[in-house]
Amino acid sequence: MHSQLWHRDLEEKKMIKVFIYLNDVNENNGPFFYVKGSQPSGKSKISKFAPQYLPKGSYPDEATVKNTILLDQIVCAKGKAGTIIFCDTAGLHKGGFVVEGERKMITGFFPSKKWSEPALIEKSKTVQFVFKSDLAKKY
């Protein structure tokens, strides 16, 4: 329900987060926003703007973001219930402000095999993590 400020997540320098909308999301109920090319591995100069500092992430001043980021660099992810968003949240992103209704979504986090900040999230003792490269070794 709550909006977020523009930020880079704190968990890892390279990661994939998956967001699944549980209800229809439009411009009024807080869509997800992402700045194209802002991930640290990006080739544009925007990838260097407001760098991420582990384990704190980065929360640039909103006025600075507005003066630096062009509107055509921003992706607004609206969609029907069931829409899936894959995103490197080391890039600049935010959850939009809910003006009307609500935004419900599930978030999943997939860190790299060489995860530098494992103490930030507790792994389940009943779930085994298998990396694609490990599967390839078996076959």
Residue 134 above 50 pLDDT?
Answer: no
Find, among 5, 131, 130, 3, the residue nearest to 66 by Cα.
5
Secondary structure of 1-53 in HEC code, one letter for each residue: CCCCCCEECCCCCCEEEEEEECCCECCCECCEEEECCCCCCCCCHHHHCCCCE
Instruction: Indicate if the pLDDT at residue 53 is higher than 90.
Output: no
Q: What is the pLDDT of residue 85?
A: 96
Query: What pTM, to 2 d.p., does this model score?
Result: 0.76
List the structure tokens of 81. Answer: 């219930």
- What would the mean pLDDT of 34-42 be, rounded to a whole number? 89
Q: What is the pLDDT of residue 132?
A: 52
Q: How confident is the model at residue 133 (pLDDT cuts 50, 70, 90)?
A: low
pLDDT score of 70 more than 50: yes
* Size of the chain in residues: 139
H helix and E strand count, the chain: 2, 6
How far apart (Å, rounded) are the C-alpha atoms in residues 46 and 49? Answer: 5
CA distances from 58 to 16, 35, 86, 131 (A): 17, 14, 20, 28
Please tell me which residue, 56 or 117, carries the higher pLDDT value. 56
What confidence score (pLDDT) does residue 139 get? 40
